[in-house]
Structure 1
Amino acid sequence: MDDPQDLPTVLVVDDEVRSQDAIRRTLDEDFQVLTASGAHDAREHFERQSIQVILCDQRMPGVTGVEFLKEVRERWPETVRIVISGYSDSQDIIAGINDAGIYQYILKPWVPDHLLRTVRDAVDAQSLQRGMSQLDLELRASTPQLRQRMQAKLELARSVFDFDRIERGAASPLNAVCAIAEKVARYDLSVLVLGESGVGKELIARAMHYASPRASGAFVVENCAAIPDTLIESELFGYRRGAFTGAYEDRPGLFQRASGGTLFLDEIGETSLAFQVRLLRALQEGEVRPIGAQRPVPVNVRVIAATHRDLEQRVREGLFREDLYYRIAGVSLTVPPLRERSGDIEPIATKLVREIGQELGCPGATLSREALACLMTYPWPGNIRELRNEIARAIALHDGGELPATAFSPRVLQGHAGLSTVASSVVSAALPQTGTLGERLDAIEAMVLRETLLHHRWNKTRVAKELGLSRVGLRAKMQRFGLEK
């Protein structure tokens, strides 16, 4: 078990003790969690020790969360600031972003997994920011040794995000997509990546960036569907101090931060027609005008856009500008869904089991033959994102080891065409060889019940009829053997 002193420190500021306790229970395995009921107690914690992340409630007596986080930004700027609030007031969100420089604005009721993931990402972001600051200081020295180290890091990034590192089978339909993308990457052409959510469009875009002459520049990602239309312009183009209420300082937009590199605009099909006009001008003129600025700012950016929408259809419907479509679709690439790439499932799933097993502390996790067969026949409407979540769930519930087909959720099992064959092989392999007669009979009964459930795809009426049980009796046995959904 990690020494609490070695864990990153998170400070929770909330005037409700129950909220403090709930957050502490969610975070205390991964972090050293401190609590404070208000700004005064929080300041004392800051004065005593270094704090990596602060989670602050917005509505508190005396001082609001944004007001206090503004003070934190001025006095302890390295601490990552997160606001938690039960109110979705856009003015609060804007003030939090502008005044306090918050990392995330989380609405109540929060989801434990999402909160934990956000705090982990915040700690990682702080660590990366500290490393980048140190790298900036080193680069100013401009010694040959430091330049060599920078080049070595660039080569490492290129190898990590190389097209060959995108997992796929030998005869994958993705091979043709990657071949075109790798060739186009060398030229400053705009690219539109099409495909369903979760197929890996960002992986293609990132590989293109590191295969391009812009690889030493930044790769900046923006999900256009994740930001309200009222905020997306300030996020991409930036703003000047005093441009609107809450704009207390100049803020460069993502176009400026990506200058010299690549800007990846995911879900561009979700943008409004009004925003599309400004985006088109920025792409045509090679300059952006921050909100409130008198003069435009030149930018040198390659844009790779992505969407799961049919943009040509949206153009016909008047929902997407035709001139912008032709501007961003210099080259169009379509990433096929996972259900059309069955040969890719095994290498992707094998890699995910290895990576997620390491993350969850189960490095020995593997897929059984039956489990792999189950994954191969499920249609995966959520594509790789759904596959990753399913594998993570299976490893967590079964503590690693060889995962059987029954490790997966009923949704995946019910979509498997060969359920009875898989279930039969699982049952045969797992028949008990030792134990009392009663224990062996219980084990066999549980296996028969599981096989029948799988065969009828969890239709309890049919299962009860086949086994000669009442619905109540079937439910009791499912509870007894832990077979409920």
Structure 2
Amino acid sequence: MLTRTRPTVLCVDDEIRSLETLERTLDEEFNVITATDADQAMALLEQHNVQAILCDQRMPGRTGVEFLTDVRKRWPQTARLILSGYTDSEDIIKGLNEAGILQYITKPWHPDNLLLIMRGACRLYELQNENELLAMEMRLTEDQAEQNVQQKKQRLQKAFQLDEIQRHENSPLNNLCDQAAKIAPYDVSVLVTGPSGAGKELFARALHYNSLRVDRPFVVENCGAMPDELLASELFGHKKGSFTGAITDHVGLFEQADGGTIFLDEIGEISPAFQVKLLRVLQEREVRRLGEHQRRKVNVRVVASTNRDLEEEVRAGRFRQDLYFRLAEVTLELPALEKRSMDIPVLAKGFLKKAVQAFDKPVQGFTDEALDCMRRYCWPGNVRELQNEVRRMLVLAEDEWLSADLLSPRVLRAAPVEEVAETEMLAELDGSLKERIETLEKRILRETLIRHRWNKSQASKELGLSRVGLRSKLERYGLNKDFH
């Protein structure tokens, strides 16, 4: 099996403790080198092939943006990211324009989120290199290029067909997909609601690729936690010199999506002031770039999403009612994954197939016991959490079957549905002590046995029981390994 070289990332921060925390978080997946100032970082870049740079904004001497601007001139392919506890919109815009910042990460950051961002940054570096190599090696004729474009479009259309959305034959998503199929061809605004990680962007793309706008662009903007000026610049565009850092004209996403679809994620997070600006664009179907007087007509279908209850936000006065009705001509409400547990095995197998291809680590599949444990867990992170769990299991696997002991403790210890009612009894006054203890004992026995792959010797040793005593309890509670 081909072993991939670990990507190298450079972390730059004048605070030693912050550097140590970043290194501890990243060193499991990356070769991490560190610097406490821009000059030291430049010297390291001369010596190492660095895929991504994570740099603090406020440092003695040169700021993060100034340093990364210099990096961009010499190593333009290296992914550049800023880490800061401040959200100065001028700094952000300057970073995007001058330093070509890939992402602006605010403190405090979450380790899992930071790892996800850095994986994406290093993958972008790889893709840029691959693209350059392909460009050097291949000289396609115009007909060949056109054919390739059409093939890619066809693959995209197929990938985002509503029939291709993975689900059980009796899934609650069936009715939702039927609704989406009916509304996709019509130019109506759609609001997709549901918890984070439930697949709202997947449905937005399906609406676009099943519409008459399929040959035009589909663009995405996450509206959450973004300053109004920066969001306006991203969506509506700006003119050179309209604000500090605007060194070139910028075409906004509404113009880029002309004729196609724009997906506004986390729409419930925008400020009341920006709600007014967005409403005008939707009403007039025209945008005005920052710093310009000219208005430009746009023909764009809007699909928005939120994990908030926008009707409640309207009643509370936090979201404009007129904007809500503009966005929600049709509403699609995605259920949480725990509301469609029958989909979990289907999704898990689909994610495993993709992970096997990505990691080049073939396995046969999941044991029945592992799938049963997955069905019992509530999945607060929804589909995204399930995908991460499957990838984790594959990475840790040593056998050809992914067994239950590879699951994270929080998933493994989830109570079966039929035991939830019994467990709730523990808090009731009329439940006897004996009944409460037996419920807990059964849960502990089952979780321990799964973790030890039903090795009774190891389980009895951990629990401080004799093999005879353990066998007696298993017979009493009817706990037998009936999974393959």
- TM class by shorter-chain length? 0.7 to 0.9
Is residue 239–residue 252 contact of structure 1 (8 Å, CA) maintained in 2?
A: yes
Give the superposition deviation at 1:51: 4.5
Is residue 139–residue 146 contact of structure 1 (8 Å, CA) maintained in 2?
A: no
In 2, the alpha carbon distance for the partners of 1:55 and 1:3 equals 25
Report the equivalent of 1:253: 252
In 2, the alpha carbon distance for the partners of 1:55 and 1:410 equals 31
In 2, the alpha carbon distance for the partners of 1:291 and 1:39 equals 33
Aligned CA distance change for structure 1 residues 244 and 173 (closer, same or farther; 3 Å): same
In 2, the alpha carbon distance for the partners of 1:377 and 1:196 equals 19
Give the superposition deviation at 1:147: 0.4
Give the superposition deviation at 1:307: 1.7
Q: Could you tell me which amino acid in structure 2 is paired with residue 313 of structure 1? A: E
Matched, 1:342 2:314: no
Give SS of 2:82's match. strand
Give the superposition deviation at 1:23: 4.6
Aligned CA distance change for structure 1 residues 85 and 270 (closer, same or farther; 3 Å): closer
Give the superposition deviation at 1:156: 1.4
Matched, 1:446 2:445: no
In 2, the alpha carbon distance for the partners of 1:418 and 1:399 equals 32
In 1, the alpha carbon distance for the partners of 2:301 and 2:87 equals 34
Is residue 374–residue 411 contact of structure 2 (8 Å, CA) maintained in 1?
A: no
Give the superposition deviation at 1:404: 1.9
In 1, the alpha carbon distance for the partners of 2:402 and 2:66 equals 51
Give the superposition deviation at 1:186: 2.1
Is residue 172–residue 341 contact of structure 1 (8 Å, CA) maintained in 2?
A: yes
Give the superposition deviation at 1:179: 1.9
Q: Could you tell me which amino acid in structure 2 is paired with residue 369 of structure 1? A: D
In 1, the alpha carbon distance for the partners of 2:203 and 2:326 equals 20
In 2, the alpha carbon distance for the partners of 1:2 and 1:138 equals 23
**Which shows bigger deviation, 111-120 or 280-289?**
111-120
Q: Could you tell me which amino acid in structure 1 is paired with residue 460 of structure 2? A: I
Give the superposition deviation at 1:285: 2.2
Is residue 193–residue 304 contact of structure 1 (8 Å, CA) maintained in 2?
A: yes
Aligned CA distance change for structure 1 residues 146 and 127 (closer, same or farther; 3 Å): same
In 1, the alpha carbon distance for the partners of 2:283 and 2:137 equals 36
Is residue 161–residue 207 contact of structure 1 (8 Å, CA) maintained in 2?
A: yes
Give SS of 2:413's match. helix
In 2, the alpha carbon distance for the partners of 1:321 and 1:109 equals 31
Report the equivalent of 2:382: 383
Q: Deviations over 1:241-299 (max 9, x none)?
A: 22223333322222223223221112212222221221122122222112111212332
Gaps of 5+ in 1: 433-439, 450-462, 464-485
Q: Could you tell me which amino acid in structure 1 is paired with residue 298 of structure 2? A: V
Aligned CA distance change for structure 1 residues 335 and 218 (closer, same or farther; 3 Å): same
Is residue 83–residue 106 contact of structure 1 (8 Å, CA) maintained in 2?
A: yes
Give the superposition deviation at 1:399: 5.3
Report the equivalent of 1:265: 264
In 1, the alpha carbon distance for the partners of 2:135 and 2:282 equals 29
Q: Could you tell me which amino acid in structure 1 is paired with residue 346 of structure 2? A: P
Give the superposition deviation at 1:357: 5.6
In 1, the alpha carbon distance for the partners of 2:381 and 2:110 equals 20
Report the equivalent of 1:66: 65
Report the equivalent of 2:469: none
Give the superposition deviation at 1:106: 2.8
Aligned CA distance change for structure 1 residues 212 and 50 (closer, same or farther; 3 Å): farther
Is residue 13–residue 20 contact of structure 1 (8 Å, CA) maintained in 2?
A: yes
In 2, the alpha carbon distance for the partners of 1:42 and 1:316 equals 52
Report the equivalent of 2:169: 170
Matched, 1:416 2:398: no
**Which shows bigger deviation, 376-385 or 302-311?**
376-385
Give SS of 2:262's match. strand
Matched, 1:317 2:316: yes
**Which shows bigger deviation, 174-183 or 87-96?**
87-96
Report the equivalent of 1:436: none
In 1, the alpha carbon distance for the partners of 2:378 and 2:175 equals 22
In 1, the alpha carbon distance for the partners of 2:260 and 2:338 equals 33
Aligned CA distance change for structure 1 residues 137 and 204 (closer, same or farther; 3 Å): farther
In 1, the alpha carbon distance for the partners of 2:458 and 2:125 equals 53
In 2, the alpha carbon distance for the partners of 1:270 and 1:167 equals 29
Give SS of 2:144's match. helix
Aligned CA distance change for structure 1 residues 378 and 255 (closer, same or farther; 3 Å): same
In 2, the alpha carbon distance for the partners of 1:202 and 1:283 equals 20
What does residue range 227-306 of structure 1 map to in structure 2 within 5 Å?
227-306=226-305
Identity, % of aligned pairs?
48
Report the equivalent of 1:351: 350
Q: Could you tell me which amino acid in structure 2 is paired with residue 329 of structure 1? A: A
Q: Deviations over 1:412-461 (max 9, x none)?
A: 634423564896598499454xxxxxxx7454333687xxxxxxxxxxxx
Q: Deviations over 1:208-265 (max 9, x none)?
A: 2222233333322222224234532222112222222333332222222322322111
Q: Could you tell me which amino acid in structure 2 is paired with residue 404 of structure 1? A: A
In 1, the alpha carbon distance for the partners of 2:303 and 2:93 equals 27
What does residue range 183-202 of structure 1 map to in structure 2 within 5 Å?
183-202=182-201
Report the equivalent of 2:102: 103
**Which shows bigger deviation, 51-60 or 296-305?**
51-60
Aligned CA distance change for structure 1 residues 184 and 128 (closer, same or farther; 3 Å): farther
**Which shows bigger deviation, 397-406 or 94-103?**
397-406
In 2, the alpha carbon distance for the partners of 1:139 and 1:261 equals 30
CA RMSD of aligned residues (A): 3.9
Give the superposition deviation at 1:44: 5.1
Give the superposition deviation at 1:170: 0.7
Q: Deviations over 1:111-132 (max 9, x none)?
A: 4443332222113334556778
What does residue range 208-219 of structure 1 map to in structure 2 within 5 Å?
208-219=207-218
In 2, the alpha carbon distance for the partners of 1:418 and 1:390 equals 24
In 1, the alpha carbon distance for the partners of 2:154 and 2:184 equals 16
In 2, the alpha carbon distance for the partners of 1:311 and 1:271 equals 12
Report the equivalent of 1:402: 402
Gaps of 5+ in 2: 420-441, 466-472, 474-484
Aligned CA distance change for structure 1 residues 61 and 196 (closer, same or farther; 3 Å): closer
Give SS of 1:341's match. helix
Aligned CA distance change for structure 1 residues 309 and 11 (closer, same or farther; 3 Å): closer
